[in-house]
Amino acid sequence: MSSAPQPEWSDRSRELSQLLARTGLGDRAAFATLYRKTSAHLFAVVLRICRDRGQAEDVLQDVYVSVWRAASGFDAAQSQPMTWLTSIARNRTIDGLRRAQTQPRLQTTSTDEEDSDVYEATADDRPGPLELLSRSSDARALSTCIDGLAAPQRQSLALAFYDGLTHAEVAEKMGEPLGTVKSWVRRALMSLKTCLERAVQRDEAAAGR
């Protein structure tokens, strides 16, 4: 499970931008192609957070209806198409989450378990959020920055981001106080930001700008 199938984030961008622009002009064929090329990724993102398959399908449907309506607002100069699409999918999914749906998958974990069991093992055979975080290597800078996070920060961020757990749920899952988890997530985000900004500066310096 070490080499994950990476959607070639930047390679696909050019084509997807064009499809989105045409979708924004009401081009249904372009929209159909856009769906074919992106729905498996978005469905996976939705499904990760919203574990009920039927509900995930409903969310995905809403996502693409939104995309159809909002595509003319997509600006290729401002954002990457997959970033734009994935953000819509995540927002829809999180908006649709109710506590009732997030509750059942919380299991009480005894604190004397191995840490790796808590974070890596899930009821099904899908990879744990922490494994996903370590796989996110399509952008080298990003993976370097993730490696630089302290373990608890990385774990709490992975649970919150991939599985859509609230801070309280992350705290319960990790067996840590809520305040501690909150500050871990916050620090993880801020470290990522600083680290990525430094990487950009390095790239620019290397390019002689």
Partner 1 sequence: MDYSRPALADRPAAEYVSGALRGPARRRFEALLTAHPALRAAVAQWQARLMPLTGAIEPVEPPASVWDRIESRIGGSTAPVATRTAWWNRLALWRGFTAAAGAAAIALALVNVAPGPARPPIVVVLSATGPAAGAAGAVPASFVASISSDGRAMVTRPITHVSVSPDRALELWAVPAEGVPRSLGLISADGTTIVKKGKVLDNTSALAVTLEPPSGSPTGKPTGPIVYLGKLQI
Residues 94-123 within binding reach of partner 1 (CB under 8 A): 94-95, 97
Rule CB under 8 A: say whether 70 interacts with partner 1. no
Let me know: does 50 contact 164? Beta carbons within 8 Å.
Answer: yes
Which ranges constitute the DSSP H helices of the chain? 9-24, 28-49, 53-70, 81-96, 99-102, 115-120, 129-135, 140-147, 151-163, 167-174, 178-206
Task: Tell me which stretch binds partner 1 (CB under 8 A): 85-93, 103-111, 116-124, 171-179.
Answer: 85-93
Q: Which two tokens stand for residue 37?
A: 């090329």
Q: Which of 50, 82, 149, 171 binds partner 1 (CB under 8 A)?
A: 82
Nearer to partner 1, 36 or 113 (CB): 36
SS3 137: coil
Q: Which stretch binds partner 1 (CB under 8 A): 71-79, 104-112, 116-124, 172-180?
A: 71-79
34 contacts 16 by C-beta, under 8 angstroms: yes
Residue from 50, 118, 171, 192 touching partner 1 (CB under 8 A): that is 192
Binding pattern to partner 1, positions 138-157, x when CB under 8 A? Answer: xx--x--------------x
Q: Which stretch binds partner 1 (CB under 8 A): 15-23, 106-114, 116-124, 172-180?
A: 15-23
Maximum Cα–Cα distance across the chain? 57
Nearer to partner 1 (CB atom), residue 4 or residue 109: 4
Residue listed under structure tokens 């378990």 = 113
Residues in region 16-45 near partner 1 by CB under 8 A: 16-22, 24-29, 31-32, 35, 39-41, 43-45
- Name the residue type at position 83: T
Q: Report which DSSP code applies to 124.
A: S
